[in-house]
Amino acid sequence: MPTLKWSFLARETAGEAFHVVITDLGMPYVDGRQVATAVKSTRPDTPVLMLTGWGRQWR
C-alpha cells in the first residue's frame, strides 16, 4: 500500500490536500478499506466515505 499513501502525501505536500475522500469498497487491485487505512494513517482527521454497489437481492 505504499503507493496509496505516497499519492495522498504527494497531493498534500503540493498544497492540494483532500477535504474528504470518497471511495468504493470493491475496486480492482485495491479496496476501500485499504484506501481508508492509507488516508487515516496520514491524516486521521480526514473523513473517508466508503460506498459500494454490491448488495443482496431480496425476494
Q: Which sign, positive or negative, has the C-alpha torsion 36, 39, 44, 47?
A: negative
| pLDDT value of position 57 | 57
Q: Domain tally for the chain?
A: 1
State the residue range of the domain holding 26.
Answer: 2-51
Is 56 domain-assigned?
A: no
DSSP secondary structure, 3-59, as one string? HHHHHHHHHHHTT---S-EEEESB-SSSBHHHHHHHHHHH-TTS-EEEE-S--PPP-
Is 24 domain-assigned?
A: yes
Tell me the pLDDT of the chain (59 aa) as tens digits: 457 667 777 777 777 778 899 888 888 788 889 889 988 988 899 999 998 887 665 55
| pLDDT value of position 47 | 95
pTM: 0.67
Is 57 domain-assigned?
A: no
